Amino acid sequence: MDIQYMIEIFPRFLLVIPITILIVVLSAIFGLMLSIPVAAIRIRKIPVLSQMMGAYISFTRSTPILLQLFLFFFGLPVLLQLIGFDIMKIDAITAAVACLIVFNGAYMSEVLRPAYLAIEKGQHEAAESLGYTPFQKMKTVIIPQMAPIALPGLGNAIIHLIHDSSLVFAIGVVDIMGMATIMSGDTFGMKQVEVFLTVALIYWGISMISEQLIRLLERRKKKVLKNTGYKLKEEEAGYSV
């Protein structure tokens, strides 16, 4: 064990952390945006589309993310050529982000769907009887109640996303893991344990920080809801989360 060396290489990892964060943030935001229509289609049970979304969710759940990354990396150019774009090869980061967006769209839609279905029908009817437009209803009645139910699941999705993003080095993105594989070659295989221990500590740190941020958000949401007199489902059931 060479602690000195671990401290020495740490700054080099700091340079590539933004790439990991960029991939995670982009896929989280666009994944959430994708998951909303997917969840809506599944909730409304629109005939053909609903089955297609069911197959899409089942596919992304049952194949390893590594395989999906490779499918996107090799498959996206072929698909684009079929539509008429003449691209021989796509950027590894683009493929990685596209893949993680598609993956998260499915994952998060399965978080949002039960959260939406957990809202009582009476809430919809009450809002409608007060003359709310569908948009107003969602904004002021449904989403505030969905949030505390969906937030833990979405938080989990983000943590999973951070972990999954460590696989993008397999298609050639130089993120934290990519840097580590380059570095373990630099030292002629002498200090690999130190390199990967540093990487493990960095990921541990990132996961802990994001976990705390999600906790903070959850707590704030709960406080707001408590002030408005809303009772959380689990409080009624008699246990706390």
Partner 1 sequence: MFDIMTVFESFVEILKVVPKTLLLALIILVLSFMLGAAITYIQSLGIPVVKQIIGVLQSFLRGTPNVVLLYLVYYALPLVSAWFLGLFNVTLDPSSLNSTAIVIVTFSICYSVFQSEIIRGALHSLDKNQIEAAQSLGYSTTQTLRKVIIPQVMVEALPDTMNAFLIIIKALSLAFLVTVVDIFAQARLVGAQSFSYLEAFVAAALVYWGICVILTYAIDKLENRMRRGYA
Would you tell me which residues interact with partner 1 (CB under 8 A)?
58-59, 61-68, 70-71, 74-75, 78, 81, 162-164, 166-167, 170, 177, 180, 184, 192-193, 196-197, 199-200, 203-205, 207-208, 211
Look at residue 49 and give its three-state secondary structure: helix
Which is closer to partner 1, CB of 51 or CB of 58?
58
Q: How far is the CB of 207 from partner 1 (least distance, A)?
A: 4
Q: Are residues 92 and 168 in contact, defined by beta-carbon separation less than 8 angstroms? A: yes
Look at residue 190 and give its three-state secondary structure: coil
Integer Cα distance of 43 and 117 in angstroms: 8
Integer Cα distance of 215 and 126 in angstroms: 31
Which is closer to partner 1, CB of 141 or CB of 168?
168
Between the two ends of the chain, the Cα-to-Cα distance in Å is 41
Q: How far is the CB of 82 from partner 1 (least distance, A)?
A: 8
Which is closer to partner 1, CB of 124 or CB of 163?
163
Closest residue by Cα to residue 145 from 107, 110, 112: 112
Which is closer to partner 1, CB of 62 or CB of 228?
62
Q: How far is the CB of 235 from partner 1 (least distance, A)?
A: 19
Tokens representing 143?
A: 């989403």
Integer Cα distance of 210 and 62 in angstroms: 26
Q: How far is the CB of 196 from partner 1 (least distance, A)?
A: 4
Q: How far is the CB of 237 from partner 1 (least distance, A)?
A: 14
Which is closer to partner 1, CB of 213 or CB of 224?
213
